[in-house]
Amino acid sequence: MKNINKILLLLIAVFLMASCTPDEFDLGTKDISKEDLVEGIAYTIEHDVDNPNIIYLTSLMDSKYTPLWNHPQGRSQENKVTLKIPFAGEYDVQFGVQTRGGYVYGDTVRFSIDQMYAGFIDNELWTYLTGGVGNKKTWRLDYGDYGLAAGPLTYCEPHTTWTEWQAGTAAIGWAPSWSDNQWIIEEADKDSRMTFSLIDGAVMTTHKVTEGLDEVGTFLIDVDNHTITTTDATILRSNNFIANASNWNSDLVILELTENQLMIGVRRTNEEGDYLYAWNFVSDDYAENYVPEDLPDPEPTLPDGWLDDVSKVVSYDINWVLSAETPFNWANLSGTLLNADWVSPETYADWTGFNGDVPATYANFSLKMNAQNNTVEYTAPDGTVETGTYELDEKGIYTFTGVTPSFNICSWVNLNTSSDNTWRITSIEKDLAGHVTGMWVGVRDPEKAEYMVYKLVPQVGSGDSEVQGTELAFDNSKLVFGDLEEKGNLRLELYNEYGSTVTDPPLDPETIVYNKRIEITFTLGGIALDEGAVGSYQTAISYSDPTWTYDYWGDGTGPGEVTVNGDGTYTVYCEPSGAATGAVVFVVDVLGLAADVSDLSSITATVDKIVVY
């Protein structure tokens, strides 16, 4: 019985295999040939009964086949396509299908339009492009000289549409200026031209300088889909980009078209990946009559109080050094850095020649400026010293006399002043507490609209004329320290109205009288870290005056904070938000240290001195 069942199952399987047609299983062959794709059998081309300038292309193929149309207004894959052709003439259609084995196309078929129908060109797109029926209009590439586009080319996401561009929601990848990116297209193509005419049909002519071509062709605008198709001529373009795209004629998206401006997109198809090259054009008439608005160049905007910021950090004597992390960059005329991603030596571009070994070569450079007498001392990296004076005007322009800061930073990059021995402050950097951590100074390029800028970092109180601080009396026998808030931080409580020092303070809070800065030097000993401990810990000062108006709440990132690596003496400082007298909170935390020490009783702490400025 088992053998009979097996035989029956085998017979059923053979029957099922035999009943399957090759049409269902043969995925590697083309089941449609070119000879099958004949007008009237595979598809139809029909004129509208009421308006013969409307043409209907209809596929008669089974729905399992994807139709492929090449027609006067581009390419389509719909079963039924409607063409609206305004001009009399002979037009070609080629029909194909996508099969399991690939694409198959039939022969090209021609149809005729006997007369012009003006209704299809009674649209602002046709008028803007050509000047209207019976007129012609000439366009040139926009090199960024007419207040419309930044340059001749804009990079956009591949499927960017007219609707997105008009709504301002288009994803723009890059809109480079030609003046800074002349590799995009040669200057000679400023003399290239293309003309769209509605005189005796839709005629397109081009004069392409670097391509060495003069073309005559035709064009059609699809006003519904905002595309343009050209025949026997292509839009103006750069020789450098021709090979990057395979379609320069059919269904090119129109992103902008006004009386003066035209923007046409071409899809990139090379190994770089799909993207949209949007070419920018300006009408000849607009370009030839364009008069630039007489606007002043933009200038850096410095924050309120900037003069005090750069003239008096703690004392009036400030020693500026060149940043080891970000010593140079370029900025636009508004002071915005052009390479904002350069934030450390390893992030600089290779072509700059800057890396982590370079800062040591200029470590001896300093520029000591005293804001009370406007004296300056310049120390070059080789130790050479020059002395002189400086002026700082209301625009943030330094003018030096007697000193000329100048040396090589790396490779071809040099630090220099201008020909007038000046620097302009382009921006000022501050920490969260509002303290100056650096300023960018620079020299304007004589040709480009940009500055070469250098970042100077302040080192405070390094000169002989430093304003002396006042040391406060402190009783270490009353110092309270430990994990006082049970947050894993080692806290030195100098005074706290909400802590134990309020009843028996180690210093008189009324003696805390400062204008700018409070400096604390302390010594730690007996630190025995647990196995697996972090090993390094940031300090964080917290201070507020009795009115809670002027304060400083450190988070370990301020310029006056330091790293505690074990037993030793450390000096920290803070610069509260304004001058004041007294305190309600005055503590120093070593963040995370208490969490890594099992026996806090082994730690010793003393405050060596507290100095107010």
56 and 171 belong to one structural domain: no
Same-domain check for residues 58 and 157: no
- Is pLDDT of 17 > 50? no
Q: Which pLDDT does position 409 carry in this prediction?
A: 98
Q: Are residues 346 and 273 in the same domain?
A: no
Give CA–CA dist 543/259, Å, rounded. Answer: 64
The H-or-E segment that residue 14 falls in is: helix 2-19
pLDDT (mean) for 75-89: 90
Nearest-angstrom CA–CA distance, 207 and 193: 5
Instruction: Indicate whether 553 and 598 sit together in one domain.
Output: yes
What is the tens place of the pLDDT at every residue in 238-295? 999 999 999 999 999 999 999 999 999 999 999 999 999 999 999 999 999 998 877 7
Could you tell me if 128 and 114 lie in one domain? no
Spatial contact of 158 and 276, defined as CB atoms under 8 Å apart: yes
Same domain assignment for residues 261 and 181:
yes
Q: Is residue 174 part of a domain?
A: yes
Paired tokens of 248: 């320069």
Name the pLDDT band for 8 (thresholds 50, 70, 90). very low
Contacts of 163 (CB under 8 A, 6+ apart): none
Question: Which residue did the predictor score with more confidence, 335 or 514?
Answer: 335
Q: Are 138 and 284 in contact (CB under 8 A)?
A: yes
Question: Running DSSP on this structure, what letter comes out for residue 15?
Answer: H
Are residues 449 and 492 both part of a single domain? Answer: no
| Same domain assignment for residues 339 and 378 | yes
The answer to whether residue 24 is domain-embedded is: no
Q: Classify residue 116 by its DSSP letter.
A: -
The answer to whether position 390 is within a domain reads: yes
Query: Do residue 495 and residue 531 come from a single domain?
Result: yes
Residues 40 and 182 reside in one and the same domain: no
Asked if residue 156 has pLDDT above 80, the reply is yes
pLDDT digits (tens, 9 = 90+) for 54-71: 999 999 999 889 999 998
Per-residue pLDDT averaged across 162-188, rounded? 93
Q: Is residue 229 part of a domain?
A: yes
Instruction: Identify the CATH number of the domain in which residue 222 sits.
Output: 2.40.128
Q: What is the mean pLDDT of residues 401-415?
A: 97
- Residue 12 confidence (pLDDT): 39
Would residue 465 count as lying in a domain?
no
Whether residue 7 is predicted with pLDDT greater than 50 in this model: the reply is: no
Does 489 lie in the same domain as 424? no
Which structural domain range is residue 490 located in? 470-612
In single-letter form, the type of residue at position 600 comes to L
Provide the mean pLDDT of the chain. Answer: 89
User: Which two tokens mark 294?
Assistant: 């007489």
The sign of the dihedral angle between the CA atoms of 178, 179, 180, 184 is positive
Q: What are the distances in angstroms from CA 260 to CA 176, 257, 417? A: 20, 8, 43
Q: What is the pLDDT of residue 4?
A: 39
| CATH number (domain holding residue 94) | 2.60.40.10
Is residue 202 one of the residues assigned to a domain?
yes
Domain membership flag for residue 417: yes
Residue 373 confidence (pLDDT) above 50: yes
Q: Is residue 5 part of a domain?
A: no
Residue closest to 72 by CA, chosen among 42, 100, 94: 94
284 and 378, same domain (yes or no): no
Q: Which among 429, 460, 491 is the end of a domain?
A: 460
Q: How would DSSP label each residue in 276-334?
A: EEEEEEEEHHHHHH------PPP---PPTTHHHHHH-SSSSEEEEEE-SS--EEEEETT
Domain termination site, one of 430, 460, 490: 460
Q: Which of 589, 361, 609 has the alpha carbon at shortest distance from 482?
A: 589
SS (H, E, C) 189-218: HHHCEEEEECCCCCEEEEEECCCCEEEEEE
pTM for the full predicted model: 0.48
Domains held by the chain: number = 4
How far apart, in whole angstroms, are the C-alpha atoms of residue 605 and residue 288? 79
| Residue 311 identity (one-letter amino acid) | S
φ, ψ of residue 509 in degrees (nearest 5): -60, -25
Structure token digits, residue 274: 């799909």
Domain final residue pick, 440, 460, 480: 460
Q: Name the DSSP letter for residue 39.
A: B
